[in-house]
Amino acid sequence: MAEKLSSVGVFCGSSPGVDPGFAEAAETLGRELARRQIRLVYGGGCVGLMGVLADAALGEGGEVHGVITRALKDKEVAHLGLSSLSVVETMHERKAAMAEQSAAFIMLPGGFGTLDEFFEVLIWTQLGIHAKPCGIINTSGYFNPLLELFEAAKRERFLRVEHRNMVVVEPDAVSMIGRLCSWEPVTVDKWLD
């Protein structure tokens, strides 16, 4: 992977969550991406961690591109102060547009939508549809149960060691961006023998 990322797609909650550390992590990531002149691509919302992330990047002079569905925009959750905003019809189109415009992906805390978006791009990396790094910022241990599930899947031979190891896990934005910049694609088949 190149030393510098051009853009990063970030998946995170439309809620701020309970732990104030979640919003702090989103803010730090937004600022760090802007400082490094890495374009932020995200779900286009003005609420929850999404809003915190975008506002932080914009506050540092960063370029922020949002991708939102028409239905969500009509509910007035679209961030209207972004560098650019694409409006699409379906969630499938939203995910495809974000994947196309991002050189790497990061997941912050969130719910079903966040997990769905992250796992889709992760599977595309696993299958070789694209060769883009996928990272999880494990703020306050939020993703510990998910990481335990990864280990169980590995033990039970549903997941190759190499594929488990392709998921970058870091506690903060600075270390995450560094790891994504040095990431190398996995070149083994998906299927276990």
Q: Is 100 helix (H, G, I), strand (E, B) or coil?
A: helix
Q: Is 157 helix (H, G, I), strand (E, B) or coil?
A: coil
Q: Which residue(s) pair with 84 in the sheet?
A: 65
* 7-179: CATH architecture: 3-Layer(aba) Sandwich (3.40)
pTM: 0.94
- For residue 193, count other CB atoms closer than 10 A to its CB: 4
Question: What pLDDT was estimated at residue 191?
Answer: 62
Structural domain boundaries of the chain?
7-179
Question: What pLDDT was estimated at residue 2?
Answer: 42
What whole-number distance in Å separates Cα of residue 95 and Cα of residue 169? 22
70-108 tens-digit pLDDT: 999 988 899 999 999 999 999 999 999 999 999 999 999
Residues of the chain with pLDDT under 70: 1-3, 189-193
Q: Which of 84, 83, 25, 19 is nearest to 50 (CA)?
A: 25
Question: What pLDDT was estimated at residue 193?
Answer: 58
Question: What pLDDT was estimated at residue 76?
Answer: 80
Question: What pLDDT was estimated at residue 192?
Answer: 58
What are the structure tokens assigned to 5, written together? 């990322």
- 147 to 32, 51, 152: CA distances (angstroms): 25, 26, 9
The secondary structure of 108-154 as a DSSP string is -S--HHHHHHHHHHHHHHHHTS----EEEE-GGGTTHHHHHHHHHHH
Asked whether the beta carbons of 44 and 78 are under 8 A apart, the reply is yes
